[in-house]
Amino acid sequence: MEAARINELLRPFLESPPAIPTSPSSAALSLSQVENILEYLDLLLRWNTRVNLTAIRQPEEIVTRHFGESLFAAQHLFPDAQAAHGHVVDVGSGAGFPGLPIKIWAPGIRLALIESNYKKGTFLREVVRKLELTDIAVFAKRAEEFEDEADIVTLRAVERFEQAVLVASRLARPGGRLALLIGEGQMKQAKELLPKLEWSDAVKIPHSSRRVLLVGRSPEIQNQSSYESA
């Protein structure tokens, strides 16, 4: 697949809605970012013959379904990609979505990929090595064992959603955000499970009839002085 085709396939996911201002420099992918995506795609296709990373086999569908959705979330979470910073944790990273495309979009962030499956963790490390990405840690254990807090926690296409979303929410620092790439049918469940989060309006993902990005903000710690005097 050529760079021009990658750009064509991803364009609908990177066209900013009016509510999200983007500078011209952060509204489209650079040549180096497209090259990273091409190399990542090549690794994914080759590894997928031996390790079950994705049920999708067609390269163009992988680009739209996995890279497109992930970059759509990246642009909403980090409208100004070049100024983006902070700690992002991707829970149940699998083949690296959305975490690695978010890192490709916003290279200044610090990223942790949580993936307990050994073979998938090995694949993630290989992608990081081949793409020469920095400030990325692959945590090859269960998310319940991860001890750090993050500015943004992402969750996409995981099993046992009810349990996973609760675990993911605990990893967000006070005032941090939980970003869910989910089906519309899961929105009500997420809000009922996490009523204390301040939820933004869900944003529909392009080329999908039922997929959305739903972001909730964790409450800030209140009455800090009362905790210190207790």
Answer yes or no: is 224 within a domain.
no
What global pTM score does this model have? Answer: 0.91
Write out pLDDT tens, residues 174-193. Answer: 999 999 999 999 999 999 99
Answer yes or no: is 226 within a domain.
no
- The predicted model gives 38-64 an average pLDDT of 96
Write out pLDDT tens, residues 126-146. Answer: 999 999 999 999 999 999 999
**Tokens read off for 177:** 């955000």
**Residue whose C-alpha is closest to residue 179's, from 210, 215, 204:** 215
**Is the link from the previous residue into 101 a cis peptide, with omega within 30 of 0?**
no
pLDDT of 105 above 90: yes
Contact 176, 217 (CB under 8 A): yes
pLDDT of 24 above 60: no
Answer yes or no: is 136 within a domain.
yes
Answer yes or no: is 52 within a domain.
yes
* DSSP three-state, residue 74: helix
Q: Total structural domains in the chain?
A: 1
Percent over 90 (pLDDT), the chain: 86
Answer yes or no: is 230 within a domain.
no
Tell me the CB-side half-sphere exposure of residue 211, using CA atoms within 13 A.
16
Answer yes or no: is 67 within a domain.
yes
- The predicted model gives 82-88 an average pLDDT of 96
pLDDT of 222 above 90: no
DSSP 174: E
Answer yes or no: is 14 within a domain.
yes
**Tokens read off for 74:** 């990246």
Give me the pLDDT at residue 190, please.
97
What CATH number is given to the structural domain containing 163? 3.40.50.150
Query: What does the mean pLDDT of the chain come to?
Result: 91
Give me the pLDDT at residue 157, please.
84
Tell me the sheet residues that pair with 112.
89, 137
**CA pair distance 15, 64, nearest whole angstrom:** 14
pLDDT of 28 above 80: no
**CA pair distance 65, 193, nearest whole angstrom:** 27
Domain that holds residue 23: 3-219
